[in-house]
Structure 1
Amino acid sequence: MTPQSDEDEVWRQIVASFNETAEDASAEQPWPDRENVSDEATEEGDGEPGGDASEPASEQAGTASEDDDHYVPPPPPPLPRGDAITRASWVALFGGPAYLLLAALLTWPMEGWIVFTAVAAFIAGFVTLVVRMGDGPPPDSGWDDGAVI
């Protein structure tokens, strides 16, 4: 037999057994045996794993109030205020293009120095924010700088 004929025979067997059901005994049970709940656990509680014996039976049975069903995160900390240079950079970054857009929509006269100032404010704000961003670890991070690749 040639390798090609062996391969053809294997494909014929696969196609012939395509619609057959599995004869595996574990097909009835979709989880491993080690996760089965013992008979003692079903007699003591409701049979669900993870039930805490210190909780009342009413909470274990799922009769807790609906207020306990969802997570309410704590309020977030306030945003940092930022220094004057950072705030001025953000104003310049958004203010320059906003002024040009507003002037174009309202057909205000735009002289050359006004356009130059708006574009320069945008570029200066962007450059200032990038330069002040920093690429090192925070000063309070300690001696260990983590994983270095």
Structure 2
Amino acid sequence: MQRDNEDDAWRAIVENFGERADLDPDPQPETPPGTQQESRREPDPEPPPVAPRAASSWDEEYVDSDWSTDRFVPPPPPPVPSTSKDRMAAWIGIFGSPAVLLVCLVLAIDLPQLVAYALVAAFVGGFLYLVFQMPRGPRDPDDDGARI
């Protein structure tokens, strides 16, 4: 019994869904292939003019408001963190040494052998210094790095 009532309800919904399309009672006969028939369409009528939208209270409230006083001003950013001199020297060794060697290679500048070895040593030494300065212990597993 329950199933019949549901079927009747769905059938009623489907039968009354949306507007019905008006179909032409006499469709035009199809032209056989091979014959060409000129078809002329009448131009579409002009669309009706669109009435201007009436201003709502929301529009008036925000159009008339002074944006300079209502605008959000974020707090000043925190100062840029600075690094220690030894750590800065290590970073210069990591990025500066290969840059100097590359410029000398491209410009065909002959470096004394002692300077070339010093640049390579600065790169390796800076890398090792930064690796040994990394924290040894595991970080807090609940810390995902997000800050509020």
User: Could you tell me the TM-score, scaled by structure 2's length?
Assistant: 0.45
Higher helix share: 1
Decide which structure has the larger Cα Rg and report it. 2
